[in-house]
Structure 1
């Protein structure tokens, strides 16, 4: 499977029309159709359902489209990171969940860019499961993740910052008047929780009972959209502090009692051979953490 043909395939996916894709690629329509047919023959699957006006992807076509984008992104990233000794260029791909600790990463990037302005940064947002998958697939250099995470699978170091768990509620909720919330306060209210198995286990450990004993009405992977559900009074959200700015809103964050604290970690693959750009970033991040 040639990279050139994957680019052709993605052009057809984007244009939804072989003729338009051929015009975009500056090749003839018969030549493009032949390349696509050879790709299907090589893989032994049908990638497109060809209609009169637009093509539609089969299930196999949708799978290949997702993987082809990842493959080409990885090739581009690898090419960018082969740089000269004199000037460090390339890119650093960093993923992380929603947390104020991303400010530490921002400081490290700012310090790095002063000396190496040609290094590009690629930022991705997602929960711990998403970040781990991206790391495992080689699409990220580093991940900023909140405990709990399976750190034995990765190289990592712990940041100085910690996150406190609590409940995000509307200001007219009776619980909003409390200074902290115990397990019994959560039993009879609809809850939104993070869509991560390890996080669920951590909260269940704090509560001393399975989350099946609570009214969990939904899950979220990033908090902003969940906060809109809270604003509408549909549920309250178990989350960490500082992600949603409640100072000028109708929402209130209430910490859990006893405290439920999560550490933050930078993780990277154990077999990861860092590019020059990634090494420079990691050195700057460590210096920021040591000096803070």
Structure 2
């Protein structure tokens, strides 16, 4: 399977048109059609449903599109780290993480790294722990920042000098907004929006204790910003970590920590026996230096 043809396939899937994709790729339409037909023959599957005005993907096509994007991204990542001067440390660093205040530590380490090696570029990917682990395992990320608890058996890691505080995001006109802390019984009759991440859900279930099975969970979220909009619209209360959503000044929202206090440690992880690019190596060394100081 030729990476070049996978790029063609991705372009057609994005454009939903052979002619539009051909223009985008600077190819003739017959040449592109032939390449796609050859790809279908090679895989023994029909990838496209060809309509009058646009084409769509079959189930096999949807599957290939997901894998093709990963393959092309990995090829681009690899090539970028080879196309560098032997005298100047350059290349690209790929870092994934969830929403956490601990990303400030990563930002400081990156700033010091770029001050020392301005030819290095970095790429950030935001997602929950499941997303980060998947991309780390497939080689699309060099490093992942994950919130405890997390299974780290397959990874090397550094514990970051930061913790996240769990609490409840609510409207300032909420009945619970007058309280300094939120206890489990305060939430038993409240509509809740919780993180979709499995490990975090288990951690919160432990905090609620036996009453966890009686919670009124009306929805889940992946990243918090959109969940905060649901809270603004009176849909419910979001269980989340602190300092991710602005609750100061004219904001309609406020945050109240949980009692008993629930904290989550942070780790930066990478695959065991990972062979890093020079840029990734420099980032890791810079982070270690930053944490040591």
1:241-270 per-residue CA deviation (whole Å, 9 max, x = no partner) reads 111111121211111111101001101111
Q: Distance in 2 between matches of 1:163 and 1:99?
A: 7
Q: Distance in 2 between matches of 1:33 and 1:159?
A: 51
TM superposition shift of 1:149: 1.1
Match of 2:271 in 1: 269
Tell me, yes or no, if structure 1 residue 206 matches structure 2 residue 211. Answer: no
Q: Distance in 2 between matches of 1:2 and 1:256?
A: 53
- Out of 11-20 and 71-80, give the one that drifted further: 11-20
Match of 1:75 in 2: 75
1:74-102 per-residue CA deviation (whole Å, 9 max, x = no partner) reads 10110111234321111101111111111
Tell me, yes or no, if structure 1 residue 175 matches structure 2 residue 204. Answer: no
Match of 1:190 in 2: 191
- Out of 145-154 and 81-90, give the one that drifted further: 81-90
Q: Distance in 2 between matches of 1:33 and 1:49?
A: 13
1:116-138 per-residue CA deviation (whole Å, 9 max, x = no partner) reads 11111111111111111111111
* Kept after mapping to 2: 8 A contact 1:80/1:89: no
Match of 1:17 in 2: 17
Gaps of 5+ in 2: none
Q: Where do 4+ consecutive residues of structure 1 move more than 6 Å?
A: none
Match of 1:257 in 2: 259
Q: How does 1:145-164 map to 2 (within 5 A)?
A: 145-164=146-165
Two-structure CA RMSD over aligned residues (Å): 1.3
Aligned residues: 291
Q: Distance in 2 between matches of 1:189 and 1:257?
A: 17
Scaled by the length of structure 1, what TM-score is found? 0.96
- Out of 221-230 and 6-15, give the one that drifted further: 6-15
* Kept after mapping to 2: 8 A contact 1:179/1:254: yes
* Kept after mapping to 2: 8 A contact 1:157/1:266: yes
Q: Distance in 2 between matches of 1:118 and 1:236?
A: 44
1:133-165 per-residue CA deviation (whole Å, 9 max, x = no partner) reads 111111111111111111122111111110111
TM superposition shift of 1:210: 6.0
Match of 1:88 in 2: 89
1:180-227 per-residue CA deviation (whole Å, 9 max, x = no partner) reads 111111111110110011111111112222632211111001111111
* Kept after mapping to 2: 8 A contact 1:192/1:218: yes
Q: Distance in 2 between matches of 1:75 and 1:178?
A: 53
- Out of 156-165 and 80-89, give the one that drifted further: 80-89
Match of 2:129 in 1: 128
Q: Distance in 2 between matches of 1:207 and 1:269?
A: 34
